[in-house]
Structure 1
Amino acid sequence: MNIRVAADDQSARIAAIVAELRHLEGPMLPILHRVQQEFGFVPEAAKQVIANALNLSRAEVHGVITFYHDFRADPAGRHVLKLCRAEACQSMGCESLADKIKAKLGIDWHETTPDGAVTLEPVFCLGLCAQAPAAMLDGELHARLDEHCLSDILAEVRT
C-alpha cells in the first residue's frame, strides 16, 4: 500500500468518527478519545478535520490535545506504564522509583523504548493515595510499589 492511499484511508476514518460524534454536546473530547482509540494516538491530520467540522481553529484543537496528558501525538508502545507523581506518592518515594524505572528502560517521561515495548508516562493521581506509591500498567493498577515490584513489572513487559 502506498503512503498516499494510507493517508487517504486515515483521513476517511477520521472524518467518519467526526461525523458520528459531532452532534454531541461538547463533542471535541469524545471525538479525540475515539480517534486515539482507533489509531493509538491523535494523528496530525485529525486536528484540521476536527477543527473544520466543529468550526474551530486548528490551534484550538491542538490546545486541547496538548492540555490533556492522555492524548498522544505518536503511537504508544505495546505497554503503557503510568507512574503516579501526586503528593502522596511523592511522599512515599515515587521520585526515586521513577529514576530507577527511567534508568532501567533507558527513556524519560513520554518516551517509548527503542524496541517499542514500553511507553512511560507520569500521571497525577490514580486514587490510591493510601497505598502509595502507585502505578498503572495497561490499565491495571499496582499499589505499594517498591523496587522489587517494579522489577517484576518491567520484566513482565520486556518479555
Structure 2
Amino acid sequence: MTRADILQRLIAARPARQDSLLPILHAIQDELGWVPPEATPAIARALNLSRAEVHGVVCFYHHFRTAPPGRHVLQLCCAEACQARGSAALAAHARAVLGIDFDETSADGAVSLAPVYCLGNCACGPSLRVGDTVLGRVDAARLDALLLTLREDLQ
C-alpha cells in the first residue's frame, strides 16, 4: 500500500467535517510516525479547508512531526516542575551526547529528541518518555545508559 493510499484511507475514515482535522492528523502520525507534506492538500480538500489552515494546525501543535522521526523518539519534559528538578541540564546533556537539538534526529537515525511540556510525572522529575515508557528521576548517567540501550536495539 502506498503512502497516498494510506493517507486516503485515514482521511476517509473520518467524517468530512472540519472537526475531524485533529483526529485525522493523529491517525496519520500514529500510522506513519509523522505528517508528510502531501497530507496537507489531501486533508484540505476532504475537509473543505485551506492548505494554510491545515498547515497552521500541524505547525501549531508540537506533537505533530513534519519529518520522519528516528527509530526511537525521546521526549524530554521541559515544564516548570521538571525544570526545577534539573531538566535544562539534562536537555543540554542529551543535545551534546546526541549531537542534535530538539526536533532533530541523530545522524545514525536511532533517536529523535523532542521537548514536551508535562508528562504528568512532576514529583519524579526530570522525566522523559520513550515510546510508552515514562521514566522519572533521570540524570545524565541514566540517560547515557538509556541511549546506549536504544542504539544497541538498532544492531
The answer to whether structure 1 residue 73 and structure 2 residue 66 are counterparts is yes
CA 1:49 to 1:23, structure 2 compared with 1: closer, same or farther past 3 Å? closer
Separation (CA, whole Å) in 1 of partners of 2:37 and 2:15:
19
Unaligned runs of 5+ in 1: 1-5
- Runs of 4+ in structure 1 off by over 4 angstroms are none
Unaligned runs of 5+ in 2: none
Deviation digits for residues 64-110 of structure 1, max 9, x if unmatched? 10111111111100001000000011111111111111100111000
Separation (CA, whole Å) in 2 of partners of 1:57 and 1:156:
43
| Alignment equivalent of 1:151, drawn from 107, 131, 144 | 144
Look up the equivalent residue of 1:123 and give its one-letter code.
V
CA contact (8 A) 1:101 1:150 kept: yes
CA contact (8 A) 2:103 2:112 kept: yes
TM-score by length of 2: 0.93
Q: How many residues align?
A: 152
The answer to whether structure 1 residue 41 and structure 2 residue 15 are counterparts is no
| Alignment equivalent of 1:134, drawn from 109, 118, 127 | 127
TM-score by length of 1: 0.90
Q: Which structure 2 residues correspond to residues 98-109 of structure 1 after superposition, within 5 A?
A: 98-109=91-102
Separation (CA, whole Å) in 2 of partners of 1:137 and 1:19:
30
Q: What's the counterpart of residue 3 of structure 1?
A: none
1:15 CA displacement: 1.6
Look up the equivalent residue of 1:110 and give its one-letter code.
D
Separation (CA, whole Å) in 2 of partners of 1:125 and 1:114:
27
Separation (CA, whole Å) in 2 of partners of 1:113 and 1:146:
20
Q: What's the counterpart of residue 5 of structure 2?
A: 12
Q: CA-atom RMSD, angstroms?
A: 1.5
Q: What's the counterpart of residue 46 of structure 2?
A: 53
Q: Equivalent pairs: percent with the same residue?
A: 47
- Please give the secondary structure, in 2, of the residue aligned with 1:44: coil
1:40 CA displacement: 1.5
Separation (CA, whole Å) in 1 of partners of 2:123 and 2:48:
44
